[in-house]
């Protein structure tokens, strides 16, 4: 009996040491949302369980190797045991109860994560290979950066233009897939001011690793100031002349650079170097001039004319305004 008590004490001590060590190395990033609290509480319980199970296996194993090792001169066999019904019942019932308890806690955490705030601001999120686009329907704004007011729940209505993507901000903890042809929901209440990044957590093609977008959690006053700035910029773009600088920003932010190079090198799509005004050969053998009308048509309807050597369906259909398209064309004109 003394050995069982000693081993039990060693298991508990080892559990505390392992748990403390895992907490010290910082397994989780900072909590930055209300939803992350219940999720981290569940993770904490799981780390405790992992630490205990590790100790329950390793400590008796090492103890047995040391205490019950074969001594010099011993040649006999160890004692024979023919099962233990009570022990088998215990190691069946206890894990079952543990699994059911964690299932209940998981369901409880899921309920907290999906708790609905009727006043939540809605934002439309579009994933494309390989960029993110954010639309604020209440404000008439489209951006490639996500601005969120602190301590307010936001409902992201998400879809994909091409393949399955996955919206993941480690500091928010919650992750949600974007599925072509469907709209999925993602509710989050940011609680910590700061700058974060959304990553795609679903392997989605060549530039999957670079499918990032900035997220800014700001005060309500700063959010309203940003909204007014973006609305003014959108009005200026709609009423002003095409701007190649804005076009270059779109090239870098909405995913164009993932497929179209500026130096003539091959990519998923044709290079933009020297494109404007050049003669382009199509898959059907015909040739067209890459003028304003051709480029605008290629952006609005990517499958209308496929350049020879490239595949149909490789380019998604972007949701861009006429002003944004004109800015992109203006930028293409500058790429010599």
For 246-295, how does the pLDDT look when each residue is reduced to its tens digit (9 = 90+)?
Answer: 888 888 777 787 788 898 887 778 999 888 888 888 888 898 888 998 88
CATH of 121-238, one of 2.40.30.160, 3.40.50.150, 1.10.10.10, 2.60.40.420: 2.60.40.420
Same fold? 121-238, 244-334: no
In this predicted structure, what is the pLDDT of residue 233?
Answer: 78
Name the residue among 38, 32, 33 with its Cα closest to residue 112: 38
Greater confidence (194 vs 266) lies with 194
What is the mean pLDDT of the segment spanning 1-22? Answer: 91
**What residues are paired with 281 via a beta bridge?**
287
- Topology (CATH) of 244-334: Cytochrome Bc1 Complex; Chain D, domain 2 (1.10.760)
Contact 229, 69 (CB under 8 A): no
- The C-alpha angle 141, 225, 319, rounded to 5 degrees, equals 10
pLDDT band with cut points at 50, 70 and 90 for residue 61:
very high
In this predicted structure, what is the pLDDT of residue 215?
Answer: 95
Contact 250, 65 (CB under 8 A): no
pLDDT at 121 over 90: yes
Give the span between the Cα atoms of 109 and 131, in whole angstroms. 30
Contact 145, 197 (CB under 8 A): no
Structure tokens at 171: 């500091």
> Domain extents for the chain?
2-62+87-113, 121-238, 244-334
């Amino acid at each position: 009996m003394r050995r069982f008590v000693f081993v039990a004490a060693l298991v508990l001590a080892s559990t505390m040491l392992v748990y403390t060590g895992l907490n010290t190395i910082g397994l989780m990033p900072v909590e930055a949302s209300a939803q992350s609290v219940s999720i981290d509480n569940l993770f904490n319980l799981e780390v405790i369980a992992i630490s205990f199970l590790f100790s329950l296996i390793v400590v008796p194993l090492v103890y047995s190797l040391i205490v019950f090792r074969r001594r010099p001169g011993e040649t006999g066999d160890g004692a024979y045991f023919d099962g233990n019904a009570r022990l088998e019942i215990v190691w069946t019932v206890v894990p079952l109860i543990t699994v059911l308890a964690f299932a209940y806690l998981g369901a409880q955490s899921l309920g907290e994560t999906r708790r609905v705030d009727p006043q939540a601001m809605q934002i439309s999120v579009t994933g494309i290979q390989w960029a993110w686009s954010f639309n604020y329907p209440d404000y008439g704004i489209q951006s490639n950066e996500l601005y969120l007011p602190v301590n307010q729940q936001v409902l992201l209505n998400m879809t994909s233009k091409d393949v399955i993507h996955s919206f993941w901000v480690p500091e928010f903890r919650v992750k949600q897939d974007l599925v072509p042809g469907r709209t999925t929901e993602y509710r989050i209440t940011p609680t910590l001011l700061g700058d974060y990044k959304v990553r795609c957590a679903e392997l989605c093609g060549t530039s999957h690793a670079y499918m990032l977008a900035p997220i800014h959690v700001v005060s309500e006053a700063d959010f309203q100031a940003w909204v007014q700035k973006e609305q003014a910029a959108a009005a200026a773009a709609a009423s002003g002349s095409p701007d190649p600088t804005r076009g270059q920003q779109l090239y870098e932010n909405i995913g164009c650079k993932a497929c179209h190079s500026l130096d003539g090198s091959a990519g998923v799509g044709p290079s933009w170097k020297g494109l404007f005004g050049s003669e382009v050969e199509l898959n059907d053998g015909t040739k067209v001039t890459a003028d304003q009308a051709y480029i605008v048509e290629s952006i609005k309807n990517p499958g209308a004319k496929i350049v020879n050597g490239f595949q149909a369906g490789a380019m998604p259909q972007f949701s861009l305004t006429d002003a944004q398209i004109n800015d992109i064309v203006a930028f293409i004109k500058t790429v010599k």
